A and B are shown apart, each in its own frame.
Chain A
């Protein structure tokens, strides 16, 4: 188990190093932030002076080495635009992203798993067809459209919820639903497939023959066996929710990392983009590791390193 963990940690570090290198050079292909910082009428001398102050006049490999040196010391540098440490900026945005991801996951699981169960159990009935249609609709609505629509209905017309920005828990409702509806479909589909597969297995037929009711069957046997693909998907969806909230965060003026990333990309604020991407790769790598460990907890057959 230790050897396995060490091997996986080594792979994880290598992955993060690769991502850091890629993001560093990719960004530098996209232009120079200095041009965006100076006023319209800046002279060449202004531009050169600012570029020098920001360190973008150094050779690329020097910049790269100093970047690697900084991340080795866990220093993400200073924002080019806001001139404050990137770590501070990310730390101030992260709670919002986590809150939104949690809210969305709640919506996605809370709706998606029951719907998936209903789709599997009632697969030939009309109710399942209607549900399947609704799931498809929820997944097909782009969030920039469904988000604005929700704002117009629930905030402007009905006045039930605040239209945007942050504050109490009521501010979190619409962004969570807008974001959660997208992953809800994924959860429903995976739950349905996993459950159907389990339903076709021999032990289910045996249990049924012994007179076990569907509810008991579901809770005692199926829930646990069908949960593995759902956990896998949850792991993937969490990284998706953390990364994919860009549009929802923009529409609802939710100050999470997605919004920060887009603004920083547009402003060519390299240190922030690097910081967010590094954080994202770290989270993805860590979640993958965690998912593997969870598998072994749920299913003894894939418990690694144990030769029973």
Chain B
């Protein structure tokens, strides 16, 4: 019989055990053990390959201008380092406080987008989506707005409710209303590509949140209708021409069709093994405009061939696959929705970017995640990966 009255005393003094740093790092619950290393490795490969491609695409021009041939490569590395720091912050930040920060992120993004439309904004390469800061820095708020939309949607739709399988109509409407403001601001720039990314992120999050099928299908149909009937009246002629070129690549090869034709020639000429880094005649002859940003994939196509360019697609696929794995293993709806939103974002953007270089999608100003040159995009992308890691570490349904 147990003597319940006798207090149980530990044979050893009850005070926190001294744990070494090494032990802490290797503990089951430490971030290093909890990280999704495959995801991190895949993203690192993309960033590294991106650096090589950007270097190849910009080298000749910089030499011609008498500048440092590695200038873009160096800036890409700096962007990646800053992005890594931001990503770590996003990964290690407390989950609950992240939800508290969501409204701030959202508000800041909307303010940024507003600033773009104000006299602070400026037009670079035909897109009015930049804020030029002193000391040669530029910010593209729409990249951060993608992040804000993902977090904001996840917060609104990820509230736990008992006995419900998903958000109700009211929640959906609230979420849509939330998105309407930044979307409207982006359409005013106008940035058609980013608008489309928003629509796909919204669709992805709504779907995974378990919103009624009528909403998902309804939005999809509405999107198609808007694209098919409203867009031709709203879009400017040059934007419509980008669609016409996809249908008929031979129209006006020196005008609208120039980019797509040159891009296809570069990729096609690469063949199975490619011409070798720095050896592509299309790339080194600078036949493709915007090659280090939107058309960076053509460098891979020409110089690395099917092996290299196909490899990039497969590594991107690996990133998406790990993201979906994180979504399905997440223990709480918020984390799952963040992961779903990030995957939708990267999936759509990768498809449109690579698709346009292959001539199956219209030309839009969307960069290839992790690979293209560009600070704002790199920061936003790596922060999104940080969020995925955060969800991964917080808890898994095994």
- A, B: real partners: no
